[in-house]
Structure 1
Amino acid sequence: MSTTAETTATTGEPASGSDGITAPAPASSKGVCSVRHGLALLLHLCNFAISTQQMNLSIALPAMVNGTAPPNASSSVTLGDRNGTLMGLKAPVYAWSPEIQGVLLSSLSYGSFVASVPSGYVAGLVRPRHLIGAALLTVSALSLFIPLAAEAGVALLIVLRTVQGVAQVMIQTSQYLIWVKWAPPLERNQLITISISGLMLGSLTVLLVGGFLCETLGWPYVFYIFGAIGCACSCLWFALAYDDPAAHPFISAGERDLIARALAQQDCEPDGSLPIKAMAKSLPLWSALLSQFSEHWFFYVLMAYLPTYLHSVLHVDLRASGFLSALLLGVAFISIILGGLLADFLLSRDILSLLVVRRLFTSIGVLFPSLFSVLLPWVSFSLGVTMAFLVLSLATSSLCQSGALVNFIDIAPRYTGFIKGLSLVFVQLSGVIAPTVSGFFLSQDAELGWRNIFLLSAAVDVSGLVFFLVFSRAEVQDWARAQTLTRL
């Protein structure tokens, strides 16, 4: 054992870093074999499942729609393998107009947007284990019924996808409450990034195999397979996940005591009442919320228009652009995890304080992607250079996940669920506004439009960074402490 661990074990007093963060005991409690890292992998699987089900309709929709079929009717098509051999598999196709397709693709967001804040509040009242497990089972089971719903009528399919959106946002808000009681402060970044990286891996997986499943087995199997995976993940979650280390039957005494000592000075008990006035006046909270909006702007531009940019500007065929998009998600997946490990390394070695880590990682995650994105129009003559810039943009922007994007846990652990739900509203607003504005630029001037898109993305991102650097804090705010009495 290290000297710090021996001192902690002997005296019973937790070791602290220079910024007042209680250091976890090393040795046997550390490593990927710990229960808390196993919990991170479970949440990784949960995020993987909901990410695949967020994108499955986007991948399957081209195979579901038949423009030559009569309106309001469905037909069957026989699928063949790549050699033209008939496989005898049939899947219905539908004559849905582009407007109906747009509503179908947006219906998931309808549920997510409406339920973000209410689900965040509910997450503070209900045990996260139950909420996450029930929501994951719901969204996965509903995925199995999507082919039947499509056959029954587009209205039922829209309702089903909206309910899925509500269930998915419950998972997104509740999972952060798990780390309030499970994550030692000096390991919080790596545990959160391991779990969140499942979103990128899920999107990457659907992009790589979704089209193949549609071509070989038929589009219904995109929903059957990923829905079944989600159901299996929910069963694992109910069997292995617990809200509190003290209640876990398989955790070692050493790890349980380590977590308890690390969180002993943190006021993290969820509270059903909300200090709304104090929250509204809190500039540190606003800096974290606005960062969610600004730092997702460029991400949503890429997700919406990257294939179009590669095809129209760089003349890459659609199949290759899909592969390159998957490559970028793979880079983001790896970078998120490495960023969390690096942040915790700097904190555990007492190299930087928590506030400096949050601001430094956010600065790198904003300034470098902004620079590379602004330069993209000037290197459009080369696919290799463009892809290098895009890879560097995604890799560095992933550091924000260990910066401003988790800062709300630092300043108000008691209200983690509610604030996460509130932050999702800002994320979704960015997801609506950024592609819309980008489409307007492209409609005005196809050549200068891309330059304006990248310049605006950089301006939004840097503006959010400046606000965060000025007003961000890393300590629990007075209104988020237990002794806060004035509430609304």
Structure 2
Amino acid sequence: MNGNVNNRSYYPNARYATVFQEENIEAKKKQGWFGTRHFVTFMLFLGMANAYIMRTNMSVAIVAMVNHTAIENDNHDHAVSVDDECNVESVNQTIHHEELNGEFVWKTDVQGYILSSFFYGYVATQIPFGILAKRYGNIYFLGIGMLINSVFGLLVPVAANMGIWWLITVRFIQGLGEGPIVPCTHSLLAKWIPPNERSRMGAFVYAGAQFGTVISMPLSGLLSECRFGWPSIFYVFGTVGTIWCIFFLIFIHEDPQSDTKINTEERLYIQKQLGSKIGLPIPAVPWMSIAKSMPFYAILLAHMGHNYGYETLMTELPTYMKQIHHFSIKDNGILSSLPYLAMWLFSIFISHVADFMLTKPFFTHTLVRKIINGIGQYGPAVALLAVAYTGCDKWLTVAVLTVGVGLNGGIYSGFKVNHLDISPQYAGILMSFTNCMANLAGLLAPIYAGHVVVGTPSIAKWRIVFITASCVYAGCCSFYVIFGSGERQSWDQPAEDPAEKKENDEPQMITTRA
């Protein structure tokens, strides 16, 4: 063969005309420090923050909505008194009567059903939307779903005044709308983010959950004490969520190929890193292979354990701070958000550590995921066990929870991005399954806590709640450490290019020059 290899005539198909141009993309580094993929990541971060704001604002609002004095007067179980345990009678005298008395007489078990109603809807749409989004695209499922969530959030105050079942129904519909957020986000990350950037980008996006919680809890506490009271919580956040949905639907595209405004070199860079090819058929999902995959079950168990422990804290922490340590609603929101602020900051830090470890030859993907995830789940397990015995020392309790939940940020560079490692092609579908089952486990957390603490709350009752969550965290993480993997699985094979298949099937002729 003669001639320059850069000559286009060398290639049997015009598709290969850009191959050498692609090979030089990384060296040129012209895609910039902030490209379209970074903008997509930022919008997904805001979407995740919005999702968790809509999920957690009820946890603080319900403290202001409930008539605590009426409930205490209605309780006939006086065997243990929180006031006697922690000697806070003087504190109770300084709490304003109007702060104690909301509009609704809901005992802790009823509050548990209200807090969990969101998750019944949330889990119902995980798997079907994850499968449909794989075939029809993620943008509209995610954007319109979150729009439903935000609009119905505006209806929460009206529903609460109409009756408890109306409130549960509205929260259920909000959950239905939020269902696509995680599987669709995961699928978009798989299409937009190169493997060497996944720990950082994935952790940044999912850290939006903590950012949303950090915003939601203290701001909800402040809004509950403003002129318009607790309804303003839902009016403000519902409006903000609606605005985000409109911007997302206008500016975000399914993948680099469908975005006409992306820099050409950045598009080629992403395609080359992902091995993307345009126009390939969508392969059938290897259901049986997934069902037999131990690395998949390792992620599933880790996800379930995390959600149970996380939802225990997220939905019950404001109530615990109110019942045991008697913080005001405003202080409650601020202090309850501190652990999630620590988690947000730590998740960003540890994601850079994870990507740095992956650059070293002695750290495999499997080892990095297990180490970082171990920090992310054993850490809060130890913290919850410690909090079960901190008793009436409220500042020690806050400090331990802040450190423990902060370490929980490791899960975003652990099992959360592990779907992308073992199956970049089916990451969205895998996430829809694990997130569905994880939230089924998570919705049990407020129900279980509500039944344990029902009646007169006490440290002993809350100790049971925290120890249970600690054991679930540790047990599920141990399963992940044993059976998890960071390697792409054999059943995750990319679709075969028909043109390449045809070329490979044709008999090759060898010619010689005279």
Give me the TM-score of the superposition, normalised by structure 1.
Answer: 0.79
Moved more, 215-224 or 170-179: 215-224
The equivalent of 2:487 in structure 1 is 475
Larger Rg: 1 or 2?
A: 2
How far did 1:169 drift? Answer: 0.8
Partners in 1 of 2:294 and 2:468 — Cα distance? 24
Higher normalized strand content (fraction of residues): 1
| Alignment equivalent of 2:149, drawn from 132, 139, 150 | 139
The equivalent of 1:463 in structure 2 is 475
1:344 corresponds to 2:346: no
How far did 1:270 drift? Answer: 9.1
**Residue type at the aligned position of 2:179:** V
The equivalent of 1:332 in structure 2 is 343
How far did 1:358 drift? Answer: 0.6
Partners in 1 of 2:410 and 2:28 — Cα distance? 25
CA contact (8 A) 1:68 1:95 kept: no
Query: How has the CA–CA distance of structure 1 residues 365 and 158 changed in structure 2, closer, same or farther, with 3 Å as cutoff?
Result: closer
1:168 corresponds to 2:178: yes
Could you say what the CA RMSD is over the residues aligned between the two structures, in angstroms? 3.7
1:281 corresponds to 2:292: yes
Query: How has the CA–CA distance of structure 1 residues 58 and 29 changed in structure 2, closer, same or farther, with 3 Å as cutoff?
Result: same
How far did 1:435 drift? Answer: 4.4
The equivalent of 1:228 in structure 2 is 239
1:242 corresponds to 2:250: no
| Secondary structure of the structure 1 residue equivalent to 2:135 | coil
CA contact (8 A) 1:267 1:413 kept: no
Partners in 2 of 1:67 and 1:451 — Cα distance? 21
| Alignment equivalent of 1:399, drawn from 375, 399, 410 | 410
Instruction: Encode CA deviations 1:296-343: one digit per residue, 9 max, x unaligned.
Output: 333233224434554566665665343211111111121222222222
Q: How does 1:287-436 map to 2 (within 5 A)?
A: 287-307=298-318, 309-310=320-321, 319-348=330-359, 352-377=363-388, 379-380=390-391, 382-436=393-447
How far did 1:241 drift? Answer: 0.7
The equivalent of 1:75 in structure 2 is none
| Secondary structure of the structure 2 residue equivalent to 1:473 | coil
The equivalent of 2:217 in structure 1 is 207
Partners in 2 of 1:322 and 1:54 — Cα distance? 15
- In structure 1, runs of 5+ residues without a counterpart are 1-8, 16-22, 70-83, 85-92
CA contact (8 A) 1:121 1:272 kept: no
How far did 1:403 drift? Answer: 0.5
CA contact (8 A) 1:289 1:423 kept: yes
Q: How does 1:32-71 map to 2 (within 5 A)?
A: 33-61=34-62
**Residue type at the aligned position of 2:291:** A
How far did 1:392 drift? Answer: 1.9
Query: How has the CA–CA distance of structure 1 residues 14 and 342 changed in structure 2, closer, same or farther, with 3 Å as cutoff?
Result: farther
Query: How has the CA–CA distance of structure 1 residues 130 and 261 changed in structure 2, closer, same or farther, with 3 Å as cutoff?
Result: same
CA contact (8 A) 2:377 2:408 kept: yes
Q: How does 1:4-153 map to 2 (within 5 A)?
A: 27-29=29-31, 31=33, 33-61=34-62, 97-98=106-107, 103-150=113-160
Partners in 2 of 1:34 and 1:227 — Cα distance? 30
Query: How has the CA–CA distance of structure 1 residues 220 and 187 changed in structure 2, closer, same or farther, with 3 Å as cutoff?
Result: same
How far did 1:213 drift? Answer: 2.3
How far did 1:130 drift? Answer: 1.9
The equivalent of 2:266 in structure 1 is 255
**Residue type at the aligned position of 1:254:** E
**Residue type at the aligned position of 2:308:** W
